[in-house]
Amino acid sequence: MLNKTLTMAVAIGVSVGAGSSAWSSALDDVMKKRGLTQKDLLAAAKTYTPTGGRDEYLAFSSGGQSGQVIVYGVPSMRILKYIGVFTPEPWQGYGFDDESKAVLAQGNINGKEIKFGDTHHPAFSETNGEYNGKFLFINDKANPRIAVIDLHDFETKQIVVNPHFNNEHGGAFVTPNTDYILEAAQYPAPYENEFVPLEQFNDRYRGGVTYWSFDKEKGRIDPSQSFTVEMPPYSQDLSDAGKFVSDGWSFTNSFCSERYVGGIEKGRPPYEAGCSQKDTDFLHVVNWKKAAELFKAGKGKPVNGMDVLSMDTMVENKAMFLIPEPKSPHGIDVSPDGKYMIVSGKLDSHAYVYSFDKMMTAHDAEKYEAHDPYGIPIVSLKDALHKQVAVGLGPLHTQYDSKPCTVFTSIYVDSQVTKWNYCTGKVLDKLSIHYNIGHLVAMEGDSASPDGKYLISLNKLAIDRFNPVGPLHPQNHQLIDISGDKMELLYDMPLPLGEPHYVVAIKADKLKPAIRYKSGWNSRTDTRSKFKARAGREKTVRTCDGDNCTVEVFGTVIRSHITPETIEAEVGDKVIVHLTNLERAEDETHGFAINGTNVNLSIEPGKTASATFIADIEGVFPYYCTEFCSALHLEMEGYLLVKPKGYKDVEGKIVDGTTYSKTDYDKQVGTNHATQDVIDSVVKFITERNYTDFAPVKELVDDAVAQLGFASKWQKDSEASAKSGDYQNATLQAGQWWQYQVKAADIGLRAKTYLEEHGAVVVK
Ligand code: K7E
Ligand code: CUA
């Protein structure tokens, strides 16, 4: 097999070498053939990551309508993972195993299963305003929900449904020590789950911001400690939390403060017109620390099981005020030192820089220009503004550079990124992008200490940038070098999974993801699974309560078999399969799928996963491992037998398709001894060297030793069978002995290669 592959590779090599289209080893020649310029080569050199190389940053992108999160590396722009969040994701068994179905069910609304999410804004957990690499939060705009993803294993652990809002956009934004996760409503609606006519919009419809309390010990949102701050029926948009000087405050902008209600079908001008008449909308400034105190002092009123702090309570306690902001604002981004807030208006060509110091001076002195119709005081724009800068048409979002006062703002209408200085108000550079940029992300660009280096432009339209794939185009994420004075476009990456909005990027070395789970682990709850099975203790139990019978399997998977290899049930039985992956080896995931049942598990090393289904039709259902885990992966199989009710098993036993003699046995044993010689030589190579200095090799060696242990068990069985003259079983058992040897050899060779490539030295 190996020889065959080698011969093939050599043959291909020869034919390529001889053909006229061969690449030359000269760079010039390759450039000419591909039509590349020096500038292209330089850009390529800045992003190209050689085989085995790692990225400096990991970017977590919202997956838009896919309801997922997309993880990719920067600067290589290689996609590493899709994390199932609000939507089933078959590869990870997310939404298929019982454990993750329970997570998705937390997101049911009024008892109804919600099959998609519209993710917009991911946010990392923070310590003192710095990303700490522990958790990622993301919102669902369509169904107001927030999800918690644990970055220990990149799995979704929790979904909470907002009890007050019927829509939201301004989530998820965290406070500097992850005390709260902010979620702002978008389209106003009544808090109570009842019908209220649009005629009562001003009185009964409401916006607001929910402050979800995060239990850092448990790594979960605690709804019992969370509350909503009631706001007028303006369409609240994005938020950001203050930090350092502005810590304790949060900022939420809004559009449609006209409170316009459309109704084009009744002859009313559309929302579009009515929501953009005024020159300004409102920035909501909230003292969330004060609000949290008010909540704890019992000043909230429960609505749908969670407290609401009314506008009156907030105003009485001087905990909320408004500031006018440019027409139809969109993004709000607090500076790394917490002193400034940058807001851009989609229908204005300016970015507005607010000074926290100034707005507080006015607020403290109660110097208000007016009150809004709900009695909320308004600090004048003049009293809060630091600078107003013309940045381009349709500015949306802003990211901070590592250089002082330097920011990058996305300019939607002009399809540009504008680099400017918010201290002086000077525009420094403009770069065209392709096309219609939405958000943008600089490395750790919304933390307390942005890294600069790279900027990614998250474009709404790709149009002509890629090979056409039909009317629905991929999104285009463009990588930009921002290390110098001038921005330089490096690379286009198509993203074909929903419309991402925001992305956050973290230094890769802040993440410490696990390689394996503790054995028998329910990864969705992060507790030991009750259904964990150990090797040799697998069992299948059938119990009946009257006519209702349940077949429950406590099984295991390991290269290359599923235990049990047969599951027997009667038609109508409920079948529950729990499988524990016994592997400790890195990347040895096994899958489990059964025809016609939607059973599809991904069982990573250590994990226990379960599937429950009704065996509702009789028949024979093969099941198998869906991950190509080993040379005998295809043999990782079994049968679910669903028998008619009351079926009597047939007499007799299984007749082997092939029979074996002493000759076959001797031949197999000969092979095994030859294989053992190869293993011994590999073992010698490894143990002569300082292999214990290499952690991955030590793990491989542990795995190989385990495989050899299994081999010797089967060797003993096979020798015992041969001794009793049962050459049929002796041959098959010798075959199993050899299977384990092959696995050990495979692992040993991987270890040997690693040592060769990493300069191990002979020590004895
Ligand atoms: Cu600008 Cu949802 Cu943040 Cu889209 S949002 S771009
Ligand atoms: Cu396990 Cu394939």
Q: Answer yes or no: is pLDDT of 1 > 70.
A: no
Q: Answer yes or no: is pLDDT of 3 > 50.
A: no
Percent of the chain with pLDDT over 70: 97
Res 8: pLDDT: 42
Q: Answer yes or no: is pLDDT of 659 > 50.
A: yes
- C-beta 625 within 6 A of ligand 2: yes
Q: Answer yes or no: is pLDDT of 14 > 60.
A: no
Res 20: pLDDT: 55
Res 716: pLDDT: 96
Question: What is the Å distance from ligand 1's center to 455 Cα?
Answer: 17
Average pLDDT rounded to a whole number, residues 474-494: 97
Res 279: pLDDT: 85
Q: Report pLDDT digits (tens) over 83-121.
A: 999 999 999 999 999 999 999 999 999 999 999 999 999
Question: What is the Å distance from ligand 2's center to 744 Cα?
Answer: 16
Atom of ligand 2 nearest to the CA of 628: 2
Which ligand has an atom closest to residue 636 CA?
A: 2
Which ligand has an atom closest to residue 605 CA?
A: 2
Atom of ligand 2 nearest to the CA of 559: 1
Which ligand has an atom closest to residue 459 CA?
A: 1
Tell me how far apart the alpha carbons of residues 748 and 746 are, in angstroms, rounded to a whole number: 5
Nearest to 316 by CA among 377, 360, 372, 248: 377
Res 607: pLDDT: 98
- Give yes or no for a cis peptide into 75 (omega within 30° of 0): yes
Name the band, by pLDDT with cuts 50, 70 and 90, for residue 75.
Answer: very high
Question: What is the Å distance from ligand 1's center to 165 Cα?
Answer: 19
Question: What is the Å distance from ligand 1's center to 330 Cα?
Answer: 8
- C-beta 439 within 6 A of ligand 1: yes
Q: Determine whether 630 is exposed, middle or buried from the number of CB atoms within 10 Å of its CB (0-12, 13-18, 19+).
A: buried
- C-beta 419 within 6 A of ligand 1: no
- C-beta 460 within 6 A of ligand 1: no
CB–CB of 721/602 below 8 Å? no
Average pLDDT rounded to a whole number, residues 598-610: 97
Q: Which two tokens stand for residue 333?
A: 């981004």
Q: Return the residue matching tokens 């690449």.
A: 23
- The residue nearest atom 6 of ligand 1, judged by CA position, is 438
Neighbours of 420 (CB within 10 A): 26
CB–CB of 582/563 below 8 Å? no
- What is the average pLDDT value for the chain, to the nearest integer? 94
The DSSP annotation for 636-689 comes to -EEEEEEEPTTPPPPSS-PPPSS---HHHHHHHHHHHHHHHHHHHHHHHHHHTB
Q: Dihedral through CA 406, CA 410, CA 414, CA 418, nearest 10?
A: 10
Q: Answer yes or no: is pLDDT of 318 > 80.
A: yes
The DSSP element (H or E) to which 238 belongs, if any, is strand 235-241
- Tally the residues of the chain: 764
- The residue nearest atom 4 of ligand 1, judged by CA position, is 501
CB–CB of 251/321 below 8 Å? no
Q: Answer yes or no: is pLDDT of 650 > 90.
A: no
